Amino acid sequence: MEAFKMTDNVMGFRFGNPVETGVIQGEKTQVEVNLPIELREEGGKTTFTLKLTENDRVYGLGPNLGGINKRGRIYESYCTDDPLHHEDKTTLYGAHNFFVLEDDDVATGFFIDFPGRVKYDVGFTTLEELQVEIHGQDFGIYLLEGASIKEIVASFHKLTGKPYMPPKWGLGYFQSRWGYQTEKDVKKVYETFKEEEIPLDGIYLDLDYMEDFKDFTLSEERFPNFKDMALKMKEEGVRLIPIIDAGVKIEEGYPVYEEGIKGDHFVKDAEGKPYVAAVWPGKVHFPDFLKEETQKWFGDQYKILTDAGIEGVWNDMNEPAIFYDETSLQEGVEAAILAQGGNLNVNAFFSLRDKFMNIGNKLEYYRRFFHEIGDRRLTNEEVHNLYGYMMTKSASMGLRKHLGKRHVLISRASSIGMHRYGGLWTGDNSSWWSHLSLNLRMLPALNMSGFYYVGADTGGFGGHVSGELLTRWLQLSVFTPLLRNHSALGTRVQEPYAFGEDLTRANKKHIERRYMLIPYLYSEMLKTYETGGMMFTPLAFEFFGEEAQQAEDQMLLGEELMLAPVVSQNAKGRYVYLPEDMVLVDFKKYDSSLTLLKDGVQYVSYTLEDLKFFLRRNRLLPYTMPSQTVKDQDLSVLKVLGYVDTEAVYVLYDDDGESFGYEQGKIYKTTLYARKLENGGMRVEAKSNHPDLQTVNFTLMDGTGEIWNEEVKVQRG
Ligand code: MIG
């Protein structure tokens, strides 16, 4: 064991010979200390147990099921393609090994730097124990000490590096569906948005744009004018965002396959031959994204897309998902032939059935192919959680190089470290009310892991959505940095205009209001780049007491807002817990209404057309008027809503929205200021180096409930 001091509050402990995951950044100073936790080794696994008192809360673990407080369940870090997120599932697409244990006095953060499987039994088997089981003996453990969970999260973000930043158009509304099969389908969607005047910044392209599911090909038959269409739509501010899968089709004459073989870029089986699995294109090889040369090579393939006008991509199936492999299929077929004409008893029947029913993503597949890391040869199982991360790194490098400006990039599989290269969507959720509230609960854990450009398939991917559910979902998703409505082949169509006139009007209003909020959301994103920390914060991280801890269907956004979306069917409103006095905002294009509410529990009515949220005391919310695309946003006039009891400041961050200048601090800062004067007046100021900004219109409520409308010219500076 070796121990390192990273900072005053962060210690690292290294056991055995761990695979370099690239997650931890920064200097390590070797010190002589022991891990203050007892480790047990058995059967190649390492376990440790943390005591949980009744009051302890456990937060983190990334995109998982369960509550914001993770107690009471088992979770496994092992990137898994499972499209049915039932309550009893333990693994989804992400493997995020960061959690914080907090009681009323102290908080301790834990990061397990290990790319294989890690299991967390958080008070499930034994109520007062958190058991961690690492499936290996070579790993790092990092311990983070702090007075509060927010402090720990901030130091974890220092430890793991700055997040990926999308271009500003990445905060627009995106329409997607697995089922837009042709250019015509895509145009139809584009045109309907135009007709309905619903804002739109991009349409996602699923598998059908490719030729036979081959990465980096464009279907001549279904998308004959791909580039033309991409460029024309882009001029109007609407981008096409194609999917790329991890598996490369095995086919003579297909350049990606041939180059991959020639350059030795594919993962190998036990005999050293490229491993054969089957996914959408049929038989494929998987690029060995853990090799630097392969990352570079695959990243360069994205040039085919950037040359065709593409500026954003989604990387799918990169757990990697496997439909079947040759060995398993062969076993199934042989068993079926043996059974032919027979009279199967129960056991024989179930055994045969399982050979086909459970043929996807079998654990044994991940033991049958290998990665070469230095002079080591490791099964995919041992380094499994690096695969999606490294594919995203590869894409990020390629897109950055070939585009020369920022791109949209989201991945399905993820682990910590990947947050520096891309965002994510939370995978194949369902059109279930429970997944709407799950979406809310996942957000803070993703921020804890360093991921900010995140969102769920709005409306739900699998299953048929009701109009009511889609609208309720939009009322939440308009606040998430990635706002994408996506649904599965064969499900009810799910565009915002697909549910009749009333709901079309409501949905349109929600999307317009999203565009109104973009200056604020984008500013909050840029701030996370500078300082880390949370964008979506559970009430429990900010306020003391049981009520705050229990409010898992509410969320703070930035330091300004509290969200309390409706997440149940047939609701006309909901009870909201206010930890302090707040102003309820009924947010509208013109004349938003403000109502001062006392702390405690309040009933708030909330119709399908409303967009409601709460402004915290002495806080300002900047926004703008809606536009059809992000590129058409007019920032010459800024609007501000505020609750100003004594004094409030907000610093609005903005930049050119597309260059990497923010990495060198090229950011426009606008300081908005309001103060309630002793003599009863209200003073407002705005100072900015933003080239466009001229005027700011404040609408402020003071502590007595009085409204102040003030307009100021922006001071330069
Ligand atoms: O096996 O590309 O999560 O968003 O629509 C399913 C088809 C493959 C899974 C993705 C989903 C996408 C779908 N993909």
Q: How confident is the model at residue 319 (pLDDT cuts 50, 70, 90)?
A: very high
β-bridge mates for residue 58, sequence order: 101
159 conformational bin, left if phi > 0, alpha if psi -120 to 50, beta if neither: alpha
**What integer pLDDT is reported at residue 103 of this predicted model?**
86
User: Residues with Cβ within 6 A of ligand 1?
Assistant: 178, 206-207, 243, 316-317, 412, 427-428, 461, 486
Lowest-pLDDT range, 78-87, 98-107, 582-591? 98-107
Residues 516-533, mean pLDDT to the nearest whole number: 96
**What integer pLDDT is reported at residue 456 of this predicted model?**
98
Q: How confident is the model at residue 348 (pLDDT cuts 50, 70, 90)?
A: very high
The first and second tokens of residue 355, run together, are: 């050979």
Q: How far is the CA of 316 from the centre of ligand 1 (A)?
A: 7
Output the furthest CA–CA distance in the chain (Å, rounded): 95
Return the residue matching tokens 């994510």: 424
535 conformational bin, left if phi > 0, alpha if psi -120 to 50, beta if neither: alpha
Catalytic residue at 251?
Answer: no
Q: How far is the CA of 207 from the centre of ligand 1 (A)?
A: 8
3-state secondary structure of 365: helix
pLDDT at 522 over 90: yes
Q: How confident is the model at residue 544 (pLDDT cuts 50, 70, 90)?
A: very high
Decide: 397 and 293 in contact? Cβ < 8 Å. no
Task: Give the pLDDT confidence of 196-208 residue by residue, as tens digits.
Answer: 999 999 999 999 9
The whole-angstrom distance between residue 421's C-alpha and the CA centroid of its chain comes to 12
The residue whose CA is least distant from atom 5 of ligand 1 is 178
pLDDT at 104 over 90: no
Smallest CA-to-CA distance from 295 within 194, 396, 365, 186 is with: 396
**What integer pLDDT is reported at residue 374 of this predicted model?**
87
Q: How far is the CA of 458 from the centre of ligand 1 (A)?
A: 14
> Which one of 178, 212, 322, 457 would you pick to mutate in the ligand 1 pocket, going by the greatest count of ligand atoms within 8 A of its CB?
178
Position in ligand 1 atom list of the atom nearest CA 206: 2
Q: How much of the chain, in percent, has pLDDT values that exceed 90?
A: 98
Q: How far is the CA of 594 from the centre of ligand 1 (A)?
A: 42
Strands 457-458 and 483-485: parallel
The first and second tokens of residue 537, run together, are: 């914060």
| Given 382, 428, 495, 702, the catalytic residue | 428
Does the pTM of the predicted model rise above 0.95?
yes
> Which one of 174, 243, 430 would you pick to mutate in the ligand 1 pocket, going by the greatest count of ligand atoms within 8 A of its CB?
243
Q: What is the DSSP letter of 430?
A: B
pLDDT at 105 over 90: no
Decide: 8 and 143 in contact? Cβ < 8 Å. no
Q: Which amino acid type is present at position 42?
A: E
Write the CA distances from 116 to 99, 112, 385, integer angstroms: 17, 10, 6
Rounded to 5 degrees, what are φ and ψ at 8? Answer: -60, -30
**What integer pLDDT is reported at residue 23 of this predicted model?**
98
Angle at 466 between CA 461 and CA 467, to 5 degrees: 110
Return the residue matching tokens 């499930």: 124
Q: Which amino acid type is present at position 588?
A: K
Residues 344-360, mean pLDDT to the nearest whole number: 92
Kindly tell me the sign of the dihedral angle through the C-alpha atoms of 354, 358, 363, 365: positive
Task: Give the pLDDT confidence of 413-442 residue by residue, as tens digits.
Answer: 999 999 999 999 999 999 999 999 999 999
Q: What is the number of H-type helices and E-type strands within the chain? A: 14, 45
Q: How far is the CA of 490 from the centre of ligand 1 (A)?
A: 12
CB-based contacts of 701, cutoff 8 Å, min separation 6: 583, 594, 596, 642, 643, 644, 707, 708
The whole-angstrom separation of Cα 482 and Cα 547 is 30
Task: Give the pLDDT confidence of 36-47 residue by residue, as tens digits.
Answer: 999 999 999 999
Residues 581-586, mean pLDDT to the nearest whole number: 98
Q: How far is the CA of 83 from the centre of ligand 1 (A)?
A: 9
| Given 56, 208, 319, 654, the catalytic residue | 319
Q: How far is the CA of 424 from the centre of ligand 1 (A)?
A: 13
Q: What is 497-535 written as a DSSP string?
A: TSS-HHHHHHHHHHHHHHHHHHHHHHHHHHHHHHH---S
Mean pLDDT computed over every residue of the chain: 97
The whole-angstrom distance between residue 298's C-alpha and the CA centroid of its chain comes to 23
Decide: 616 and 674 in contact? Cβ < 8 Å. no
Q: How much of the chain, in percent, has pLDDT values that exceed 70?
A: 100
Q: How far is the CA of 359 from the centre of ligand 1 (A)?
A: 18
Return the residue matching tokens 């979406």: 439
**Continuous segment of H or E residues that includes residue 373:** strand 370-373
Q: How far is the CA of 643 from the centre of ligand 1 (A)?
A: 44
Task: Give the pLDDT confidence of 227-267 residue by residue, as tens digits.
Answer: 999 999 999 999 999 999 999 999 999 999 999 999 999 99
β-bridge mates for residue 414, sequence order: 94
Position in ligand 1 atom list of the atom nearest CA 207: 2
Position in ligand 1 atom list of the atom nearest CA 279: 1
β-bridge mates for residue 409, sequence order: 313
Position in ligand 1 atom list of the atom nearest CA 178: 5
Helices (H), 82-168: 149-160
Q: How confident is the model at residue 558 (pLDDT cuts 50, 70, 90)?
A: very high
Return the residue matching tokens 């040039």: 303
The whole-angstrom separation of Cα 478 and Cα 114 is 35
Helices (H), 425-498: 433-448, 467-477
Decide: 444 and 536 in contact? Cβ < 8 Å. yes
**What integer pLDDT is reported at residue 570 of this predicted model?**
98
| Given 245, 316, 325, 655, the catalytic residue | 316
3-state secondary structure of 580: coil
The first and second tokens of residue 45, run together, are: 């696994």
Q: How far is the CA of 248 from the centre of ligand 1 (A)?
A: 16
Helices (H), 161-225: 183-196
Catalytic residue at 316?
Answer: yes
Position in ligand 1 atom list of the atom nearest CA 243: 2
Q: What is the DSSP letter of 251?
A: -
The residue whose CA is least distant from atom 6 of ligand 1 is 317
Q: Where are the beta strands (DSSP E) in 61-190?
A: 73-77, 94-95, 98-102, 107-113, 118-122, 129-134, 139-146, 173-175
The residue whose CA is least distant from atom 12 of ligand 1 is 178
CB-based contacts of 257, cutoff 8 Å, min separation 6: 248, 249, 250, 251, 285
3-state secondary structure of 447: helix
**What integer pLDDT is reported at residue 167 of this predicted model?**
98
The first and second tokens of residue 80, run together, are: 């898994």
The helix-helix angle for 226-235 and 183-196 (nearest 10°) equals 10
